[in-house]
Amino acid sequence: MCPEEMAPSDQNQRFMKKNNQNKKSVLIVEDERDLCFLLELMLAKDDIHADHVKSLAETRDFLQAEKVDLVLLDNRLPDGLGLDFISFIKRHHPESKVLMISGKDQSAHDIALENGADGFLAKPFTKSQLEESVRGLLNN
């Protein structure tokens, strides 16, 4: 369930539960609710804890409060482009890997990697492509 659908007390319990486990943690930065839900389901099957935010501002706030192993970063968000936010993540949270998610646009792929993304996943993608990309980045 995406956090915006949860009561605040449910969100707090979720964060507390995460801190008590040794699971890898992923922050999904995606404004499409359906895709968020699918990503969380796919990651949960691999025993990966996922949290979700819908904007770059929420990403900044979340990363100030929580450490994550991987950020799944969409490009087109309500308050800006994920491509422009990669350098912020890498500068302020160098321990976090960044997997850019965007449409099949070669220039976005190239810019994401130039800006410091650790990987790029073109939409639409398969479950196996997601799993392979995430596992590869979390195991490095």
Question: Over the stretch 12-69, which tens digit does the pLDDT of each residue have?
Answer: 455 544 443 578 999 999 999 999 999 999 999 888 999 999 999 999 999 999 999 9
Contact between 109 and 83 (Cβ < 8 Å): no
The residue among 21 and 73 whose pLDDT is bigger is 73
The residue among 85 and 13 whose pLDDT is bigger is 85
Contact between 85 and 56 (Cβ < 8 Å): yes
Residue 23 belongs to domain with CATH number: 3.40.50.2300
C-alpha dist (Å) from residue 133 to 55, 67, 99, 139: 22, 20, 8, 10
Provide the pLDDT confidence category of residue 2 given band limits of 50, 70 and 90: low
The residue among 9 and 137 whose pLDDT is bigger is 137
What whole-number distance in Å separates Cα of residue 130 and Cα of residue 45? Answer: 12
Structure tokens at 55: 């904007």
Overall average pLDDT of the 80-84 stretch: 96
Domain count, the chain: 1
| Segments forming the whole domain that contains residue 104 | 3-138
The pLDDT of residue 5: 54
The pLDDT of residue 69: 97
What whole-number distance in Å separates Cα of residue 140 and Cα of residue 136? Answer: 7
